[in-house]
Structure 1
Amino acid sequence: MSVGSKDIEAVRLVVAISSRALFDLSESHRVFETQGVDAYREYQVAHESDILSPGVAFPLVKKLMSLNATLEQRGRVEVILLSRNSSDTGLRVLTSAHHHGLDITRAAFTGGASPYRYVSAFGAHLFLSADPMDVRLALDAGCAAATVLPASAPSAEGHEGQVRIAFDGDAVLFSDEAERLFRREGLDVFNASEFASAHEPLASGPFKGFLVAVHRLQALFPQDASPLRTALVTSRGAPSHERVIRTLRDWGIRIDEALFLGGMRKADFLRAFDADIFFDDQEAHCEAASLHVATGHVPHGVANG
């Protein structure tokens, strides 16, 4: 998928993020859970001059927003704050964002209601949240969304600011049709079916739109000097790899690295890739990966009931 000159101005990447994914709000969240909403409001107002520490998704957001300087164009990559806070309690969050140099200009504070309905209204390609219910609602509404797992991994600081994003395949980039067959019939039937269907593209999964937006942004840079790098990290192996490769080719999307692990543990490869974030539908894979890289669980498909 190439980007013609007349389309360049339309190329944007918009990420919506919750306050608890962006910042460490563990202390104030404990106040909310143990003492209720009124005590939480009083706590946040009393501490609104105290700058919040970065949360698990902060390094990713910082790197993404730095692409605007690389492109010498403000707003090409935009991060929008979507929060269950009220405007009163959310003031601390925006103050902290600006203190840390994040050029966030748009936000929605919903006063306890789920903010998922504003994901599509803002035109976001991705929603990151610490609230699994908000993520499920966003996915059900057709938006790419993931629950950011608690921080277990050190921030990715390498690659001179290059943003590295890793994706699982089935139920994330692609539909879960093949995963359903695997769970129902076993590996041999799965491999035989995928081999027979190698020239039939897989249906889209919830993260195809986000991958397309990332790919279009990548196309603004020379391939060998892009500040964005993507990887497919899948449990598939030969012969089921061919259908995946042909599907991406059919979509006109370039994946920089494709790791077909044939059932091997993903976490070690994600650490080697040094992902800024990894998206997977299976909780076990996410928990293992979160020990090494920031991880988003995508509660979609047969693995999630």
Structure 2
Amino acid sequence: MPSGFGNKLVIAISSRALFNLDDSHQVYQDEGLAAYAQYQIDREDEVLKPGEAFPMVQKLLRINDRLEGEPRVEVLLLSRNSADTGLRVFNSIEHYGLKITRAAFSGGESPYRYVSAFGCHLFLSTDAEDVRSALENGVAAATLMSSSSPQGDDGSPLKFAFDGDAVLFSDESEQIYKSRGLEAFTENEKSSAKQPMTGGPFKAFLSALHGLQTEFGPTESPIRTALVTARSAPAHERVIRTLRAWNIRIDESLFLGGLEKGEFLKAYGADVFFDDQKLHCDSAGQHVATGHVPHGVANN
């Protein structure tokens, strides 16, 4: 982590995840880069509508108002725009009062290479290839999908929800399930119950969230976390012991035994849910903002 950020939670987000750029992206696809650039310049004083991650970013930045001293949350903008075409994005950031001051405009190139340089804990984008590249470089990342039920910032706590295998944990157990079936998976988890699992791509991000949560009282934290997994008993024990070994607290744990996750995520009130399997993401996206994590055996 760059020393200038100290112990901050650092989130990087693409311009298309923060704002709705569907119209201008369509211009780019239909008419090319020059037409896109002119489209953005002509409309640089027109405020962009919020995108999928906008409410989450509002809640993240609001956490800084709850703590004294230096801000503890930093949100960065990473964009394929040039600084010239990105002026509309920054004008919109200013309009909404978002305290985002750092950005990398990569002029058409993939901006993921700046994720590590900034020391980011999480990268959110609508570009699946950028997300894969970030994951391959050891940074938690997800492709934000369009949600049928976008959330608003209603002043409630920021609620993250995570799948387990291949997201918080490695996909070693899932590999057994995929290759040898449920019975072999269950037997492996029973025999390995006291052996903590290896961390997955989102372990470091969860740990950073936990560190931020500890700065508040148990009932005062503006962040809540939930594990929402297809596992059920007896495969639950290894999960519990793994989190205990990591010294990380999860506020809520749902062991669904294969049930669809969407309704449970809606009941929890998730601001964003992360899962490695596209099928689960499609179901969840009907209810909450969802990030697909293209990692592990399910994405090979």
Give the shorter-chain TM-score range: over 0.9
Structure 1 CA distance for aligned equivalents of residues 77 and 230 of structure 2: 33
| Aligned counterpart, 1:139 | 135
Q: Which one of 73, 77, 83 corresponds to residue 87 of structure 1?
A: 83
- Secondary structure, aligned partner of 2:111: coil
Pair 1:34-2:30 in alignment:
yes
Q: Render the CA deviation track for 1:73-123: whole Å, top value 9, x for unaligned.
A: 453101000000001111110110111110001000000111111011111
Contact 2:196–2:241 under 8 Å retained in 1: yes
1:211 aligns with 2:206: yes
Q: 2:170 aligns to what SS in structure 1?
A: coil
Task: State the Cα RMSD in Å.
Answer: 1.1
| CA deviation profile, 1:107-150 (whole Å, cap 9, x unmatched) | 00000111111011111100000000000000001100000002
> Residues 59 and 153 of structure 2 are in contact (CA less than 8 Å); yes or no, is this contact kept in structure 1?
no
Q: 1:43-78 CA deviation, whole Å, 9 max, x = no partner?
A: 000000000000010000000000001113453101
Assess if the C-alpha contact under 8 Å between 1:146 and 1:298 holds in 2: yes
- 1:272 equivalent to 2:287? Answer no
Q: Report the Cα offset of residue 156 of structure 1.
A: 4.5
Identity of aligned residues (%): 60
1:67 to 35, 55, 63: 63
Instruction: Report the Cα distance in structure 1 between the residues aligned to 2:185 and 2:62, rounded to whole angstroms.
Output: 42
Paired residue for 1:118, among 90, 97, 114? 114
> Which stretches in structure 2 are left out of the alignment for 5+ residues?
none
Does the Cα contact within 8 Å between 1:56 and 1:151 map onto a contact in 2?
Answer: yes
Cα contact 1:165–1:275 (8 A) shared by 2: yes
Distance 1:176 1:206, change over 3 A: same
CA distance in 2, matches of 1:180, 1:127: 25
**d(CA) in 2 for partners of 1:12, 1:261:** 34
Contact 1:149 1:295 in 2 (8 A): yes
Q: Is the 8 A contact 1:63 1:162 kept in 2?
A: yes
CA contact (8 A) 1:21 1:55 kept: yes
Aligned counterparts of 1:257 and 1:69: Cα–Cα separation in 2: 25
Report SS of the residue matched to 2:85: helix
Q: Does 1:19 align with 2:15?
A: yes
**Counterpart-to-counterpart distance in 2, 1:266 and 1:34:** 37
Of the three residues 52, 57, 66, the one matched with 1:56 is 52
Unaligned runs of 5+ in 1: 1-8
**Match of 1:269, as an amino acid?**
F
Describe how 1:243-254 pairs up with structure 2 within 5 A: 243-254=238-249
Q: Name the aligned partner's letter for residue 123 of structure 2.
A: F
Paired residue type of 2:113 = R
- How far apart are the structure 2 equivalents of 1:115 and 1:225? 36
Residue in 1 that maps onto 2:184? 189
Aligned residues: 296
Alignment pair present for 1:293 and 2:292: no
